[in-house]
A and B are shown apart, each in its own frame.
Chain A
């Protein structure tokens, strides 16, 4: 019953979520670290920018991405100059969109984790002679481990649940940009309810299990 195309959509969705989560952990960690420790007056601005995807409709993000990644947009002209070509309708384009879209779901748990562990362990490490990089990698990171797990799970799950941005910049190409949420939408529109049920039910169970794992592991998912 699971046609080849739907199976491809599931694999593609997982690939997108894994790629996005890895990139977000790399990009989000320094942002979260800075937000947790800075006293700069820019903290509020950066914090608000990071949180924007929480409140913006995906159509806003999708629209701006389509325009800026397109041939006349600044990013589109840059990627063409680099010789990569244009990002809309490609897997790389979806990754770029997802990184923006899921950014707060990774940065905020990390920021909370860094804030919660406080200055004290770092000061102690410093008095014992640890340099700044040493303190970050051997003290701050291990202390923030639960935050990293939460961030990874939320970033992954939120990317799996993405729809609006992908619909606007994906172009619905099998095996390249047709993720599960778009495949479900397609089935529903075409009144293929049996196929839609299968995928939608699968999503429901999957999302529940992910959140169950998260909430059972940690009573306070945001730390």
Chain B
């Protein structure tokens, strides 16, 4: 009886393997995406499917967490990180295809409140301390969280404001803490509060780039997808005009030190 069950299971497994292995791997790729890039990536993946026929399955999380998952055998084919360090490390450690990493965008950090009139230029509210909680992403695993800590250190406010920190598991949760009003302020990614070049609500201060190292976001093809056409196609697609057009509307730029700035609630190419 048990023997029979086992052989049935085995044959079922072989069948399902035979039917789908070749095809599914050829036009499907699992993509690990840093949380800050989740909104644009969903749109890019939709266009990618329409334009190429390949399917990209997206998983979001903090860069450091996705790194840990990849090191533990997560079945990702492409990794879109929120820094350059982590993809480089995966290449060095042999988990990613050598020479496959490229910069897909530069991200920007903003101080944001869901309330209008709370955040002004120069982030004055941070100095007055006239707020409750300050949300950041976990600096250990999220590059945007590390950038926020860097900004506060440079402004000499870290020690004073640390007791007000609420730490999101990733930048998505940090944003959610502020959006729900539970935290008065938060350091989030520009892409989370901007759509089509307009601030979606509340008030924001684009942190000047001299207060933190540029957030260079690199992507890399992982070893297990070295021969996956969908992974290669996605990497190409991310460098193309269609994807970049979408990234632009979310406030990403493609060169270090691009002088983006917020005038009122409109994103401008320079101040």
Does B associate with A? yes
The interface size bin for chain A is: 20 to 34
Known A-B contacts A172-B167, A173-B166, A173-B167; the reply to A70 vs B181 at CB < 8 A is: yes
List the one stretch of A42-50, A153-161, A183-191 in contact with chain B: A183-191
The smallest C-beta distance from A171 to any residue of chain B, in angstroms, reads 3
Are B140 and A89 in contact, with the CB atoms below 8 A?
Answer: no
Residue of B nearest to A192 (CB): B140
The smallest C-beta distance from B147 to any residue of chain A, in angstroms, reads 17
Are B140 and A171 in contact, with the CB atoms below 8 A?
Answer: no
Residues of B within 8 Å of A186, CB to CB, are 138, 140
Are A70 and B141 in contact, with the CB atoms below 8 A?
Answer: no
B156-182, CB under 8 A of A: which get 1 and which 0?
000000000111110000000100111
Partner of A190, one of B132, B135, B140, B182: B140
The smallest C-beta distance from A163 to any residue of chain B, in angstroms, reads 12
**Cα distance A199–B138 in the bound complex, in angstroms:** 20
Are B181 and A172 in contact, with the CB atoms below 8 A?
Answer: no
**Cα distance A67–B180 in the bound complex, in angstroms:** 7
Are B138 and A171 in contact, with the CB atoms below 8 A?
Answer: no
List the one stretch of B64-72, B236-244, B259-267 in contact with chain A: B64-72
Are B166 and A89 in contact, with the CB atoms below 8 A?
Answer: yes
**Cα distance A167–B168 in the bound complex, in angstroms:** 9
Are A89 and B182 in contact, with the CB atoms below 8 A?
Answer: yes
B62 within 8 Å of A (CB atoms): yes
Partner of B64, one of A66, A71, A189: A189
**Cα distance A4–B168 in the bound complex, in angstroms:** 21
Residues of A within 8 Å of B166, CB to CB, are 89, 171-173
Are A71 and B141 in contact, with the CB atoms below 8 A?
Answer: no
Residues of A within 8 Å of B165, CB to CB, are 171, 173
B222 within 8 Å of A (CB atoms): no
Residues of B within 8 Å of A190, CB to CB, are 64, 68, 140-141
Known A-B contacts A89-B133, A171-B133, A189-B138; the reply to A71 vs B182 at CB < 8 A is: yes
**Cα distance A70–B181 in the bound complex, in angstroms:** 6
A109 within 8 Å of B (CB atoms): no
Are A86 and B132 in contact, with the CB atoms below 8 A?
Answer: yes
B183 within 8 Å of A (CB atoms): yes
**Cα distance A216–B65 in the bound complex, in angstroms:** 40
A72 within 8 Å of B (CB atoms): yes
The smallest C-beta distance from B83 to any residue of chain A, in angstroms, reads 14
A104 within 8 Å of B (CB atoms): no
The smallest C-beta distance from B63 to any residue of chain A, in angstroms, reads 10
The smallest C-beta distance from A216 to any residue of chain B, in angstroms, reads 35
A157-199, CB under 8 A of B: which get 1 and which 0?
0000000000100011100000000000110111100000000
The smallest C-beta distance from A85 to any residue of chain B, in angstroms, reads 8
Partner of A71, one of B135, B167, B168, B181: B181
Residue of A nearest to B139 (CB): A190
Residue of B nearest to A177 (CB): B166
The smallest C-beta distance from B162 to any residue of chain A, in angstroms, reads 9
**Cα distance A71–B114 in the bound complex, in angstroms:** 12
Are A88 and B182 in contact, with the CB atoms below 8 A?
Answer: yes
Listed residue (A70, A171, A186) with the most chain B CB atoms within 10 angstroms of its CB: A171
Residues of A within 8 Å of B133, CB to CB, are 89, 171
Partner of A188, one of B68, B132, B177, B182: B68
**Cα distance A66–B202 in the bound complex, in angstroms:** 20
**Cα distance A173–B71 in the bound complex, in angstroms:** 28
Residue of A nearest to B181 (CB): A71
**Cα distance A14–B133 in the bound complex, in angstroms:** 25
Known A-B contacts A186-B140, A190-B141; the reply to A171 vs B135 at CB < 8 A is: yes
The smallest C-beta distance from A80 to any residue of chain B, in angstroms, reads 11
Are B141 and A72 in contact, with the CB atoms below 8 A?
Answer: no
The smallest C-beta distance from A202 to any residue of chain B, in angstroms, reads 21
Are B141 and A189 in contact, with the CB atoms below 8 A?
Answer: yes
Q: Give 16 pairs: A residue, B residue, CB < 8 Å, sorted on A.
A: A69-B182, A88-B182, A89-B182, A171-B165, A171-B168, A171-B177, A171-B182, A172-B168, A172-B169, A186-B140, A188-B68, A189-B140, A190-B64, A190-B68, A190-B140, A190-B141
What 4 new A-B contacts, CB under 8 Å, besides A66-B180, A70-B180, A89-B133? A67-B180, A69-B182, A85-B132, A171-B183
Top-3 shortest CB links A-B: A171-B166, A71-B181, A172-B167
